[in-house]
């Protein structure tokens, strides 16, 4: 058996729905268009939302990109010097003349029996002999 609802039931339901949605006027921070939406929405659509999030992430990741670029540069310099000299010591000035940045993030290691303190940069171990100002490089697996 079908039940028929009175036409006023439908009208009351839609009125309640409209009141619950609560349309608020906003201005999109990307394109500066005015739009009506719920209270917490900040962008007018997906393209503006993507643009906003991309700019926010670009600002947040700028410092990480700088550190990453420094590490790539220093890694390439160490790789070239390791290929050229192998395990033999060479003057530290050659590293700095090649553009090695002294502010590269490092990890200190003790990996041999002589208690030398090695510096780990990417996959390379670097030992600096302070009395002769020479550098020795090894590759860490």
Average pLDDT by consecutive 10-residue portion of the chain (141 residues)? 53 48 81 86 88 91 89 93 92 92 84 76 88 89 76
Compute the distance between CA of residue 27 and CA of residue 122 in angstroms, rounded to an integer. Answer: 47
Compute the distance between CA of residue 38 and CA of residue 66 in angstroms, rounded to an integer. Answer: 39
Q: What is the pLDDT of residue 134?
A: 92
Tell me, yes or no, whether 31 lies in a domain: no
Q: What is the pLDDT of residue 15?
A: 46
Q: What is the pLDDT of residue 106?
A: 84
The count of domains in the chain is 1
Q: What is the pLDDT of residue 13?
A: 52
Q: What is the pLDDT of residue 74?
A: 93
Compute the distance between CA of residue 18 and CA of residue 36 in angstroms, rounded to an integer. Answer: 13
Q: What is the pLDDT of residue 22?
A: 62
Tell me, yes or no, whether 56 lies in a domain: no
Can you point out the beta strands (E) in the chain? Answer: 24-27, 34-37, 90-91, 107-109, 118-121, 124-129, 134-139
Tell me, yes or no, whether 59 lies in a domain: no
Domain that holds residue 95: 70-139
């Amino acid at each position: 058996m079908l039940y028929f609802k009175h036409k006023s039931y439908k009208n009351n339901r839609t009125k309640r729905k409209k009141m619950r949605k609560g349309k608020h006027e906003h201005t999109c921070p990307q394109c500066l268009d005015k739009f009506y939406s719920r209270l917490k929405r900040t962008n007018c659509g997906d393209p503006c939302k993507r643009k906003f999030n991309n700019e926010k992430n670009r600002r947040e990741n700028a410092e990480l990109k700088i550190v990453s670029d420094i590490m790539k540069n220093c890694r390439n310099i160490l790789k070239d010097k390791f290929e050229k000299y192998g395990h033999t010591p060479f003057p530290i000035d050659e590293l700095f003349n090649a553009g090695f940045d002294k502010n590269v993030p490092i990890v200190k290691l003790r990996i041999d029996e002589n208690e030398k303190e090695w510096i780990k940069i990417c996959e390379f171990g670097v030992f600096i002999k302070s009395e002769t100002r020479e550098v020795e490089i090894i590759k860490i697996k």
